[in-house]
A = this chain, B = another copy of it.
Amino acid sequence: MKTVKISIIGFGAVGQGVARSLLDKRDYLNKQGIDIRVVGISDSKGSEINAAGIDLESALLRKKQKGTVATGAESALEVIRSVEHDIVVEVTPTNIDNGKPGFGNMRAAFEAGRHVVTSNKGPLALRFAELKEAAEDNGLFFRYEATVGGAVPIFNLVHEALAGNTVIGIEGILNGTTNYILTRMTEERMPYELVLREAQELGIAETDPTYDVEGIDSACKLVIIANSIFGQDATYHDVDVTGITKITPEALELANRNNYVVKLVCEAGNKLTVAPRLVPKRHPLAVGGTLNVASILTDLAGRITISGKGAGSIETASSVLSDILYIARNS
């Protein structure tokens, strides 16, 4: 049995999803010879630390009842630096203004000789090159499948499953909220404001939807793709972004009559753009609802298209877990 010690830094929806998945998957992982032991969990109020392995059921219950997992006052950085473990699972909220606290957490992890697995887009959309270099300088893994496409394993697909291929271009729909809004506007012929309100009531859109509907979330994800797959050193300021707030039901209806749908499409190649585009209904990108999709054009395999759920606590945890297992198998 190979024991891998991890910390979970950030205990919101994703962090709790990771804990829940590890609980549900304990037997499954043990059968594969892997024992994942959580030795530290931090949220904004403090931490729980247990070198023998935290009782995840109790931690989840405490978070639910008390609003925090903390049993002590140690900060995330103290856990990262002082608790002996292999992988820091950095799942604090995305901050697109300055990348805090994720960037500092990740840098501290690499300095302490720990691998990083993250779902946090902010630091990668702002300072990807620095983080990648810190990982490489220390001979550590830096995995971020969960930052883009939720459950859809875009980076694993390109870097491992399509190994040997050169990627020529990538197009994708990388934001489930806007895809849901555009799909509903088309199908129900409802105006933007009404559908947005519906999405907010369903919990698909946030109270302040700016980040999604203005294309900022999509732009961050596109930048991470550009940096990871095309070796660029872009930040989200380099993306030409147009959101979906100006789209009318009439425009969607006109597109529909001509066998097109309107999608908020991200394109990485020579330029980085996020903009509403006409997509033929039978095109692989024409997926509806909250789905995400990436269509990857390669030199050998041709065009490979992958779609799935772009958000959700357990779905994102799926990507985090696959990254943890990758490190467990390869370290």
Contact = CB atoms under 8 A, between A and B. Distances in A.
Contacts of A29: 164
A234 to B, nearest CB: 22
A25 B164 CA distance: 8
B321 A164 contact: yes
Interface string A278-295: 000010101110000000
Chain A interface residue number, banded:
35 or more
A136 to B, nearest CB: 14
Contacts of A329: 163
Contacts of A303: 308-309
B163 A157 contact: no
A102 interface: no
Copies in the complex: 2
Given A300-B21, A307-B305, A318 B151 contact: no
Contacts of A284: 287, 307
Contacts of A321: 163-165, 300
A96 interface: no
Contact of A307 (B145, B300, B304): B304
Given A282-B288, A288-B282, A164 B306 contact: no
Given A304-B306, A305-B308, 14 more contacts: A145-B161, A152-B304, A153-B162, A160-B322, A161-B161, A163-B321, A164-B318, A165-B318, A282-B286, A282-B288, A284-B287, A302-B309, A303-B309, A306-B307
30 contacts: A21-B164, A25-B164, A145-B161, A151-B301, A152-B301, A152-B304, A153-B162, A156-B161, A157-B157, A157-B161, A160-B160, A160-B161, A160-B326, A161-B161, A161-B322, A162-B322, A163-B321, A164-B318, A165-B318, A165-B321, A282-B286, A282-B288, A298-B318, A300-B314, A301-B309, A301-B318, A302-B315, A304-B307, A306-B306, A330-B330
